[in-house]
Amino acid sequence: MRKVRLQVRWRRICSADEARRDCTARGERRSTKETGRRARSHRSAQRSCSRRSGASKEENPKKKDPRGSPGRVRVIAVSSCRRPTERINSFVKDLSHSLRNSIVIRRGKMSLRELVDSAVDRGADRLLTVSRRYGGPGAIHLQRLKDGDAHLTYPVIFLRSVRLRREYPIEGRFFAEAVTANDGKIELDLSNPLARFLDLPFLSGGGTFSSFHVARDSSRRLSICLTSPAAVREVGPSFAVHHLSWNLLETEDDEGHES
């Protein structure tokens, strides 16, 4: 009997040792698989990161701004007053569609401070806003964005009337590549700061490109129109200028405008 009990005990000890060895082997295999899985995922992440960085370098090898100096792309934001009419919204959209590297920001109920913050967050360094007067587009304000603040650039362009892009019988989309002007003191006084703000070259002559052309119409009223070819064919949008404001006092004296 004692011999039988010893044999049974020995079998139990052997089976326990075998179970421990099996558990250890399974754990080692599991840890080996986990280590291999982690290594594979790490290598895959490294490959994807290298592919993304390589693609970005190929797509944007040193971005250049329109003036030719290396840096980020210069963006202009176009927006309206807080309670725009349908015609103001259409005019804002037409202006944005006429400019490369421009974005439209729907004003909604945003204050001017919130509008500036939104433009800065979206990478804009300039802000063009259209105010309202008697239910229609009233004035164009040009502002440069620096250190999170808006700095008004003169002149403020007060509008007499606007003509939308859809009101011209010419199909297609045109982008302004320059600012052109007829010979005249007022035309030159307006076209030079406008070209600097829009970051477009000022050219005295026409060409096969598209341009914002500053000239006097048949009634001798100052107007600005998108033309293609430059200074030859009007494609719109366009707007007639009521007057220009060159300082803060003149801007504050104009009543009836809502920004």
Residue pLDDT, tens place only, 53-112: 554 444 444 444 433 444 568 899 999 999 899 999 999 999 999 999 999 999 988 999
52, pLDDT greater than 60: no
Domains annotated for the chain, with CATH where assigned, are: 76-258 (3.40.50.10480)
Mean pLDDT of 211-237: 94
Q: How many CB atoms lie within 10 A of CB 111?
A: 10
Residue pLDDT, tens place only, 146-199: 999 999 999 999 999 999 999 999 999 999 999 999 988 999 999 999 999 999
Residue pLDDT, tens place only, 235-252: 999 999 999 999 877 665
Question: Cβ(107)–Cβ(115) under 8 Å?
Answer: yes
pLDDT at 205: 79
Which of 11-25, 27-41, 230-244 has the largest mean confidence?
A: 230-244
Which of 12-21, 77-86, 212-221 has the largest mean confidence?
A: 77-86
- Which single residue is written with the structure tokens 């992440």? 45
Mean pLDDT of 43-52: 56
Q: Which of 92, 190, 78 is nearest to 126 (CA)?
A: 78
pLDDT at 194: 97
pLDDT at 237: 97
pLDDT at 62: 40
Mean pLDDT of 38-65: 50
Measure the CA angle with vertex 214, ends 176 and 248; round to 5°: 100
Question: Cβ(190)–Cβ(158) under 8 Å?
Answer: no
- Which single residue is written with the structure tokens 């001798």? 220
Question: Cβ(226)–Cβ(174) under 8 Å?
Answer: yes
Residue pLDDT, tens place only, 115-144: 999 999 999 999 999 999 988 999 999 999
The larger pLDDT score, comparing residue 168 to residue 34, is at 168
The larger pLDDT score, comparing residue 109 to residue 33, is at 109
